Amino acid sequence: MADTSTSPWPEDFFDFAFVLAIDERLEQLKNMVEDEDWTYQHTTNEHPYPILFNYVRYTYRRVAEENKIALSEDGQFSCFNTGLVTPNQEPLYASFDTNRREGVQPCFF
């Protein structure tokens, strides 16, 4: 089936952004957001917060499909609303710099 998407963004989060030490970043995110259990209770996984890992990937996919990723005027930065909130109900945005390495993901987290 042909891709009918008109989105300029890659479909997969990890094709969009290079994330160094993803599990450490997820732990930082977990500590910023409203309290939630981000682990599986009866299944093992390679990531300590597998629900949060999948949430970020699928949220990215949705905002990419809907073309809801903002790009700075100079093209150096991008961001999107994660749909997550702090304990004070403040929205959290994922923010990215342009990846300066060629032939890899366009953004760096």
Encode pLDDT of 34-58 as tens digits: 999 999 988 888 999 999 999 999 9
Share of the chain above pLDDT 90, in %: 65
Look at residue 25 and tell me whether its pLDDT is greater than 70: yes
Q: What is the pLDDT of residue 109?
A: 62
Strand, helix or coil at 93? strand
Q: Where are the domains of the chain?
A: 13-108
Strand, helix or coil at 95? strand
Q: Using an 8 Å Cβ cutoff, are 48 and 28 in contact?
A: no
Whether the pTM exceeds 0.75: the reply is: yes
The residue to which tokens 């702090």 are assigned: 86
First-to-final CA distance of the chain: 32
Q: What is the pLDDT of residue 7?
A: 80
Cβ contacts of 109 within 8 Å, gap of 6 or more: 17, 18, 19, 20, 25, 94, 95, 96
